[in-house]
A and B are shown apart, each in its own frame.
Chain A
Amino acid sequence: MDRSFLNEVSRRSGQTFEGCFHCLSCAAGCPVVEAMDYNPNQLIRMMQLGMKNKVLESRAIWLCIGCYSCISQCPNRVNIPALMDTFREMALEEKIQVSEPAILSFHKAFLDQVRKRGRVFELGLMARYKLLTGTFFQDMSAGMQMMRKGRFRLFPSRSGGRKQIRKIMEA
Chain B
Amino acid sequence: MRPIDYYPGCSLVSSGREMQESFEAVAQAFGHELKPLQDWSCCGSTPAHSISHDYAFLFPAQNLVLAERQGVRDLMVLCPSCYVRLWDARRAVLEDEEKNKRVERLFGQRLRGTARPQFFVETLQGFGLDAMKEKASRPLQGMKAALYYGCLLSRQEWITGFDVEPYRGFLQELIGSLGAEAVPFALERQCCGAGLAVTKPEMSDRMVDRIHDFARRSGANCLVVFCPLCHMNLELRGKADHLPVLYITEAMSLAMGSPHAKVWLGKHLVDPQPLLSELRIA
Identify the A interface with B (CB < 8 A): 12, 31-32, 35, 63, 65-69, 71-72, 85-86, 88-89, 92, 100, 102-108, 110-111, 113-114, 118-122, 126, 129, 138-139, 142, 145-146, 149-153, 157, 159-162, 164-165, 167-169, 171
Contact = CB atoms under 8 A, between A and B. Distances in A.
A129 B198 CA distance: 9
B207 A31 contact: yes
Given A69-B191, A119-B10, A120-B10, A114 B44 contact: yes
Interface of B: 10-11, 13-15, 17, 39-42, 44-56, 58-59, 62-63, 66, 106-107, 151-152, 154-156, 190-191, 193-196, 198-201, 203, 207, 236, 267-269
A167 B200 CA distance: 32
A157 B236 contact: no
Contacts of B193: 31, 65
Given A65-B194, A106-B195, A160 B155 contact: no
Contacts of B201: 138-139, 142
Nearest to B56: A85
B236 A145 contact: yes
B15 A122 contact: yes
Given A67-B155, A122-B14, A151-B15, A88 B51 contact: yes
B50 A160 contact: no
A108 B106 CA distance: 23
A118 B15 contact: no
Given A105-B199, A159-B40, 4 more contacts: A72-B155, A119-B10, A126-B198, A160-B39
Nearest to B271: A149
Nearest to A101: B199
B39 A161 contact: yes
Contacts of A67: 151, 155, 191, 194
Contacts of B42: 113-114, 118-120, 159, 165
A107 B14 contact: no
Given A65-B191, A69-B151, A122-B10, A107 B196 contact: no
A65 B155 contact: no
B13 A63 contact: no
Contact of A103 (B14, B54, B106, B199): B199
Contacts of A157: 13
A89 B53 contact: yes
Contacts of A35: 200, 203
Contacts of A142: 201, 236
A146 B15 contact: yes
A31 B191 contact: yes
A77 to B, nearest CB: 8
A153 B11 CA distance: 9
Given A164-B62, A165-B59, A153 B17 contact: yes
